Structure 1
Amino acid sequence: MLSKSAALEVVAEQMFPIYREQREQLDMVDSWINLTHEGPKIPRNASEEHKWIATLAKTPLLSTVVTTVAQALYATGYKSTVDADDPWRTWQANDLDHRQVAIHRAAIGYGFSFTTVMPGQDSQGPRSVIRGVSPRKMVALYADPAEDDWPMYAARFDAAGQSSFMVRLYDDEVVHFVSVGASGDEPTYIEYREHGAGVTPVVRYSNSIDLEGRTFGEVTPLIPVAKRINKTDYDRMLAQHSNSWNLRVFSGIDASQGPNTEGLTPAQAAEKAQIRLRQSDVVTLKDPNSKAWSLPATPLEGFISSRDSDIDALASTAQIPVTAFSKLSNISADTLVEIRAGLNQKVFERQMSFGKSHAQTLRMAAQLEGNLAAAEDYEARMDWRDTRVRPWGQTVDALGKAAQMLGVPVEELWEELPWLDQSDLSDLKNAASVAAATTARTQIAEAAAAARQDPTVARLVNRADRG
C-alpha cells in the first residue's frame, strides 16, 4: 500500500503526465470515430460556400469499421470447470450483457479499455462491482506491459469542473482518492478505501497487443485512407456544385444594345439584357456572324471511381467486407461468406483477447466474493454468439446431421444455436430434465399397467395383496 505522500507523488509526477499525453493521442482518434475531426484542407480565402461543402465531405467510415467489428462480438455465457453459475450471476448483476458492448467498442477504436473490480454486496451476499472505463479516463502502469496481467498502479481521472480532476489511484490494497489541478498541480489527498484484492483490481482489454506491450486500435492505421476519401468527396461535391451543368456560350451578340437600355451604363445595360433561358426556350440568332455553343459539365465518374478504389483499400486494410461501405448486388450466399472470411478471422482473434480479459475480470470478482474455487479456475472461458452469415436452415440441418450421423447428444448441440445465451440454455436444459422425468414416470406407469394384464403377474400381485 502506498503512503499518502507516495500516492500524491505517483499521481502528480507519474500518472498525470502519462494521462495528458495519452488523452491527447486518444482525443485525435476519438475525433475520427465521432466525426469531429478536421475536414479536407481548403484555401485560406475559400468562400463560405466552399467551407460548407468541406463540412459535408466528412463521412463516418472509421466509425463504421468500429461498429462492424463490435457488432460481431457478444459474449453469451461463461464456461467453468468449477462453478459457472455464480460468476455468470455476477456478470448479469453488473448488467454486462449490455455494458460489454461499450467495453469492446472502446478497445476496438482506441486500442484498449479497462474494467475495475471492487467489492460489493447485494441481497444474496457478496457481489463484486464491475465497471468499464474508457482509456481517455484511465492510465495503467505495468512493470512489463506485455507480460503482466495486473498493473502496479492505475489512475482514473474524472474532470471536476474546468480547473481540477478527481483521481482514483488503485494499488494492490486500496483505492486512494486525490484531487489535482487542471495541470496536475496542487495534489490533495482526500481518503482511501480498502479493496482486499491483493493486486491492482484493473483489467486491460487489448484490441491487439505485441510482445513489447504496444496496443493497436482499428482507427489509427486507417486515418490516411479516410483522409483521401474525404478529399475525393470534397472535390466531387465542389465539381457537382459548380460545374455539373452545360454552360451556354454566345458570340457575336452585343447584349448592351438590347431593349430598354437607354440611360444605362454599358455594364448595367449588359446585366439587364442578359439572356436567361428556360428549359422550353428556343434561341434564334439573326446575325449570321453570331454563334452559340455550350461547354460540357465536369464529368463526375473519375471522382466516383477514385473513391471506390480508396474504399476497396480501406476495406482490405481493415479486414472489413466492402459491403459495409458500398452497395453490391446479385451476391450469392457462398460469395458473401467468402467476402466476410477476413472479418471472421479478425473477430475470432478479438474473442480470444477479450475473452481472456472477461475471464480475468470474473475470476477477480469471484475472489472478492470468497469463491476461491472459481477464482482459481484458469480453464474458464467465455462463450460468444455466432454472428457469421449462415442461413438458419443450414445451421439446423448441420446440427441435425451431427446428432443423427455422429451420435452427438442433442443437449450438447443446443450450445451451437447462435440465438441462445447461457440463461436460455439453462432454462432449456431444466425444461428437458423435467420432461425426461415426466416421460420416465409415464413409461414406468404404462409398463406396470401392461404387466398387471398378464395372468401370471396378476396372480402374483393378488397373492401379494392378500398377504
Structure 2
Amino acid sequence: MTDLVDGAPRALARQLLATLDRDTPRLERIDNYVQGKHDDPYMPAFADDEYRLLAKRAISNWMPLLVGTPAQALYVDSFRRGRTVDTQPAAQLPEWRHWQQSRLDARQAAIHRGALTFGHSFALTEKVKGKVRTKGLSAMRTSAVYEDPANDLVPYAALTVTRRPTGDLPGVARMWDAASEYRVTFKSFTDAASVRVSRVRRHGCSECPVTRFCAAVDLEGRTVGVIEPMIALQNRINQTIFDLLVAQTYASFKVRTATGMAPPIKRDADGEPILDDNGQPIPLPVNVNAKRFLFAEDPDVKFDSLAETPLGGFIDSIDMSIRHLSAISQTPPHHLLGQIANLSAEALLAAETALSRKIAEFRAMFGEAWERVFRVAAELAGDTAAAEDYAGEVLWRDMEMRSLAQSADGLGKLAESLSIPKRGLWSRVPGVTATEIREWEQIREDDDAELQLAQSIRRATPEPAAEPVAA
C-alpha cells in the first residue's frame, strides 16, 4: 500500500458510505421479511402474553417462495461468443473455464437471489494469485456510484464493507474505481471526518471491476426486487391469520351458561366459606365435559349456550389475500395454494405464462450483467479480443417441465418439416445440460469413427470368389 490518498478517492468513499447508510434501514427491513421477522399484527395495547404468543404463531412467511420460484429457473448453462468464426465449444473457452474455476455453477444462485430480494446485487471480478475469479457481493454491504444510474452498466466506483465498525475497532472496506483498488477505514457510515483511504494496487482492468445485477431498474436509477412491493400484502395475511387464531382460541366452541344457580364454594375444615382478598367466597371450578350432564334442583335455574364464532369468513379472507399475492407477484396460484387437481396441460401452461414472462425479463437483465463479467474476466486474463466481444451471450438452462414424449414428438416434427439439423435441437431436450450435450457429441464422433473404419475395412477386403456350380 502507498501513502494516504486525498481528493477524489476519499470523496468517493464518503459518498458510497453515505449511500450505504441511507439504504441500510430499507434493506434490513427487506431482509427481516425474508427471514420471517415480520411486523407484529395489530393487537390491543393491554394484550397479555397469550395474545403475543398467538401473534408469533400468526406469521406465515410467503417471502422466500416469491424469491425462490423465479430463482430456481435462472441457471446459466453455457456461454457463446459473438464472433461467428469462433467454433470452439463452450467448455474450451477461457470465459467458461473462468466460470468453472470461480464455482459459479453453484454461486450464481446467491447472486440471483440477492438481486431478486433487494432489487440489486453485485459481482466482483479480480485477479487473485495470478488467477481470475468472480464472487458475489451483498447489497447490504456494497454500494456503487454511476454517472447515469439508469443506463450505465459500468459503475464509476464501488465499495464493499468487509468489517463493520464495532466499539473502538474501525470499519474496513474495499473500494474500486476505473484504475485502482483502495483500502477504506471509517468509524461509522456518517462520520465523514474519520474516513481514511489508501491505494492498494492497480486492479489491471480498464474500468471498475464490479458488476451490478438488477432485477428491475427504472429511468431514475431506482432498483426494486420482488419482496418490497409485497410487504403490505404479507402484513394483511399475517393480520387475518392472527384474527383467525384469536377466534379459534377464544370463540370457536359453544359456551354453556346457567342462570339462577349459585356455584359451589370453597370451605375450610370447619365448613366455613373461604374468602378472597375482596371478602367474596371463592367458587369451585365446575367440571363440564361431554360425558357429564348439568342439572339443578331449583326449577328457576335455566341452562343455555352461546353459539361459536364461524371461522369460514377468516379462511376465505386468507385465501383471497393469497390470490392477490399471486396475481401481483406473477406467481402461479397453484405454487401458493397447492391446488393443481384436475388441471389440463393447457390450463397449467396458461397459469405459468405470467411467471415465464417475468423469468424472461430477469434473464435479459441478468444476462447483460454476466456478459459484462465475462468481458472483464477476459481483459484481466489478457484476451483483448474476448474483452471487446459485445455480441457474446449466456445460454440459460431450459427449466420448463414438459413430458419427454411430448418434447420428442415436437422436436421430431421440427426436424422433419422445417429441415432443422437434429444437432441443433439437442439443447431443446428437457433437462439436458451442456455437459451431457458434449458427451453426446463425443459419443457420436466415436460412433462415426468406428463406422468409417468398418466401411474402410469392408471396401479393402475383396469379395470371396463364387464357387463353381456343378453341372
TM over 0.5: yes
SS at match of 1:338: helix
Distance in 2 (CA, whole Å) between partners of 1:2 and 1:230 is 55
- Percent sequence identity is 29
SS at match of 1:155: strand
Matched, 1:202 2:210: yes
2:298 matched residue in structure 1: 287
Distance in 2 (CA, whole Å) between partners of 1:170 and 1:43 is 51
SS at match of 2:186: strand
Matched, 1:168 2:169: no
Task: Map 1:361-372; keep pairs closer than 5 Å.
Answer: 361-372=373-384
1:214 matched residue in structure 2: 222
2:358 matched residue in structure 1: 346
Distance in 1 (CA, whole Å) between partners of 2:50 and 2:391 is 61
SS at match of 2:77: strand
From 260, 264, 281, give the equivalent of 2:273. 264
Matched, 1:89 2:104: no
Aligned 8 A contact 1:103 1:132 in 2: yes
Distance in 1 (CA, whole Å) between partners of 2:96 and 2:75 is 14
Distance in 2 (CA, whole Å) between partners of 1:411 and 1:127 is 35
Distance in 1 (CA, whole Å) between partners of 2:164 and 2:222 is 30
Q: Single out whichever of 150-159 and 325-334 deviates more from structure 2.
A: 325-334
Aligned 8 A contact 2:256 2:303 in 1: yes
Distance in 2 (CA, whole Å) between partners of 1:64 and 1:129 is 31
1:131 matched residue in structure 2: 135
- Alpha-carbon deviation of 1:248? 0.7
Matched, 1:70 2:74: no
Change in 2 beyond 3 A, CA 1:199/1:18: same
Q: Which structure carries more helix by proportion?
A: 1
Matching residue's letter, 1:132: G
Matched, 1:145 2:149: yes
Distance in 2 (CA, whole Å) between partners of 1:153 and 1:406 is 50
SS at match of 1:248: strand
From 311, 333, 338, give the equivalent of 1:327. 338
Change in 2 beyond 3 A, CA 1:362/1:154: same
1:48 matched residue in structure 2: 49
Distance in 2 (CA, whole Å) between partners of 1:327 and 1:100 is 28
Distance in 2 (CA, whole Å) between partners of 1:158 and 1:120 is 17
2:326 matched residue in structure 1: 315
Distance in 2 (CA, whole Å) between partners of 1:297 and 1:315 is 32
Change in 2 beyond 3 A, CA 1:60/1:445: same
Q: Taking structure 1 as the reference length, what is the TM-score of the superposition?
A: 0.90
- Alpha-carbon deviation of 1:325? 1.6
Matched, 1:360 2:369: no
Task: Map 1:371-450; keep pairs closer than 5 Å.
Answer: 371-449=383-461
TM-superposition CA deviations, 1:180-215 (whole Å, max 9, x none): 112443223344121121101111111011223221
Q: Which runs of 5+ in 1 are unaligned?
A: 456-467
1:154 matched residue in structure 2: 158
2:62 matched residue in structure 1: 61
Q: Single out whichever of 46-55 and 366-375 deviates more from structure 2.
A: 366-375
Matching residue's letter, 1:216: V
Distance in 2 (CA, whole Å) between partners of 1:418 and 1:404 is 19
TM-superposition CA deviations, 1:382-425 (whole Å, max 9, x none): 11122223223212222222223333222211111242332332
Q: Which runs of 5+ in 2 are unaligned?
A: 467-471
1:459 matched residue in structure 2: none
Change in 2 beyond 3 A, CA 1:3/1:79: farther
Matching residue's letter, 2:334: T
Q: Single out whichever of 429-438 and 416-425 deviates more from structure 2.
A: 416-425
- Equivalent residues, number: 449
SS at match of 1:5: coil
Matching residue's letter, 1:231: Q
Q: Taking structure 2 as the reference length, what is the TM-score of the superposition?
A: 0.89
Change in 2 beyond 3 A, CA 1:156/1:194: same
Aligned 8 A contact 1:359 1:381 in 2: yes
Matched, 1:34 2:35: yes
Aligned 8 A contact 1:27 1:136 in 2: yes
Distance in 1 (CA, whole Å) between partners of 2:410 and 2:3 is 58
Distance in 2 (CA, whole Å) between partners of 1:341 and 1:237 is 35
Change in 2 beyond 3 A, CA 1:283/1:435: same
Change in 2 beyond 3 A, CA 1:397/1:3: farther
- Alpha-carbon deviation of 1:145? 0.8
Aligned 8 A contact 2:5 2:198 in 1: no
1:252 matched residue in structure 2: 260
- Alpha-carbon deviation of 1:160? 4.2
